[in-house]
Structure 1
Amino acid sequence: MKATAVFLLLSLALCCYRGNAEMNGAADEGTEAACGTYDLKKGCTKIFDPICGTDNTVYSNECLLCAQNLQKHTNVRIKNRGMCKKHSPHPNSAEN
């Protein structure tokens, strides 16, 4: 009986985890945010420490990325610290 209950809970957890993955594979990129260090119920600070998410969105700080993941049931990870780098299709297009 206990083994069945544990199996069902693990199966449910696996299904939920797979359902939260980003469609474009972004959940496999970047590094996991340290969301356990923030009390998201109290809110996030207004300290500007930009984070570029794997969804190519700039979050004002890591806590806000965590709050967004919690609210929207996503798994956006940290692509890099700082602003997102824009990729120009023609890096030398300003030169003539």
Structure 2
Amino acid sequence: MKATGVFLLLSLALCCYQGNAETDGGAGKGTEAACGNYDLRQGCTKIFDPVCGTDNLLYSNECVLCLQNLQRNTNVRIKNRGLCQKPSPHSNSAQN
């Protein structure tokens, strides 16, 4: 019962706070990580289930992304599950 109350309060806090915590590259892109599913105070598992963040950094799992968001006071979202895709060599070429 106590854990349910803590979960509900944490979920409410995340819902109210996330609007102000967008990073420059993450606004409106990707999907929100399900941080309420993890007890971030106890750390994350070392299970490798990679996610690519909207900051184009690879996180070993969703919990680690959530923990980094909490520590850095950011809101990096999940760009895709799995490894980050390298940009096409033509995507950054200057046009003359």
Fold conserved between structures, TM > 0.5? yes
Report the TM-score, using the length of structure 2 for normalisation. 0.72
Deviation at 1:62, TM superposition (A): 0.2
- What 5-or-longer segments of structure 1 have no aligned partner? 1-12, 91-96
Deviations 1:20-60 (A, max 9, x none): 21123x13100000000000000000000000000000000
Letter in 1 for 2:45: T
Q: How many residues align?
A: 77
Matching residue of 1:20? 21
| Unpaired runs of at least 5, structure 2 | 1-14, 91-96
Runs of 4+ aligned structure 1 residues displaced above 3 Å come to: 16-19
Q: Distance in 1 between matches of 2:40 and 2:18?
A: 20
Where 1:33 maps in the other structure, the secondary structure is coil
Structural mapping, 1:1-96, within 5 Å: 17-24=18-25, 26-90=26-90
> Using the alignment, how far apart are the partners of 1:19 and 1:38 within structure 2?
22
Aligned CA-pair RMSD: 2.0
